[in-house]
Amino acid sequence: MTDPELPTPVLDNHLHLDPRHGRGMDAVKDFRNLGGTHLLVVNKPSWHLGVEADDPEDFRAVFEETVDVVAEADELLDGGAWPVLGVHPGLISRLVDERGFSADAARELMQGGLSVAAEYVADGDALALKSGRPHYEVPDAVWDASNAVTKHAFTLGAEHDCAVQLHTEASEDLSELADWAAERGLEPERVVKHYAAGRLRGPTPSVMSERDRLERAAERGEPFLMETDFVDDPDKPGAVLGPKTVPRRVRWLLEEGYEDAVRIAHVETPNRVYGIDTEATLDA
């Protein structure tokens, strides 16, 4: 059951788990013990798991490891856990700057990796895809290739009827990306901007669970999700936010009178974006 002080499902929309190098299931237990019920676990960047891909099939080891760790997390939670699989957009710089790939060759490899990830969605082993573009300055050829990778992710999302989480530059207006998704048959609300601020045009914002960002999102009264982007890296213990943060911020939002916003973030938006009924899965 959930913590009695949190009479609601509690979903962290974007975090990473690394039982090989990080806290793994101990982090999941911290989340659960504070009242957390549902997790969307995104695979770590491939090179962080020792995979230097040369072929799209090379990403499969990363996806398999993520699916396995999510199955463990699912057993610990009162609600559930689901994998979100894809290719981190920062890989393009690693390929071009460090490994001698052309931008077009990097694009082809990353698009192929996304197609492999989509196989897991098609088989019911993953919930959504992850893609995007660098959040830092890159040459025009790399930027264009990254946008092509993102558009491919939208095509796959439409084909497999799944959401696409995006890693992008900081912005409060990504309506162009939402338009790209719509052009490919993917509803813009099923495009999710990871690491979002409290306001966003275009995709659905997955708001970093800092109080000022959450207040802005809550005041808008529009669909949003909450996340920590917990990286589960012992070498970066203070990086981003810890696994206890979303349950703590939900408690704070309730104390501040934002009951409607909590329902939007943890019941209504997960259902609209991913088709997850967080209340029914919790009851089950």
Q: Is the pLDDT of residue 3 over 60?
A: no
State percent of the chain over pLDDT 90.
92
Average pLDDT for 55-66:
98
Q: What is the pLDDT of residue 5?
A: 63
Give the Å distances, CA to CA, from 133 to 83, 138, 151, 208. 20, 10, 10, 18
Give 141's contacts (C-beta < 8 A, 6+ positions apart).
103, 104
Q: What is the pLDDT of residue 221?
A: 95
Report helix, strand and coil shares of the chain as percent, to nearest 5: 50, 15, 35
pLDDT tens, residue by residue, 167-187: 999 999 999 999 999 999 999
H/E segment holding residue 275: none
Average pLDDT, the chain: 96
Average pLDDT for 66-90:
98
Q: Is the pLDDT of residue 4 over 90?
A: no
Higher pLDDT residue, 3 or 121? Answer: 121
Helix/strand/coil for 80: strand
Higher pLDDT residue, 26 or 21? Answer: 26
Q: What is the pLDDT of residue 28?
A: 98
Q: What is the pLDDT of residue 84?
A: 98
Residue 192, beta-bridge partner list:
165, 204
Domains of the chain: 11-283 (3.20.20.140)
Burial label, 255 (beta-carbon count in 10 A; 0-12, 13-18, 19+)? exposed
* CB burial string 160-197: b at 16+ within 10 A, e below: bebbbbbbbeebeebeebbebbeebebbbbbbbbbbbb
What's the pLDDT band for 1 if we cut at 50, 70, 90? Answer: very low
Q: What is the pLDDT of residue 82?
A: 98
Average pLDDT for 54-64:
98
State percent of the chain over pLDDT 70.
97
Give 260's contacts (C-beta < 8 A, 6+ positions apart).
221
Average pLDDT for 26-38:
97
Q: What is the largest CA-CA distance in the chain?
A: 55
Q: Is the pLDDT of residue 236 over 90?
A: no
Average pLDDT for 225-248:
91
Q: What is the pLDDT of residue 2?
A: 44
What's the pLDDT band for 19 if we cut at 50, 70, 90? Answer: confident
pLDDT tens, residue by residue, 128-145: 999 999 999 999 999 999
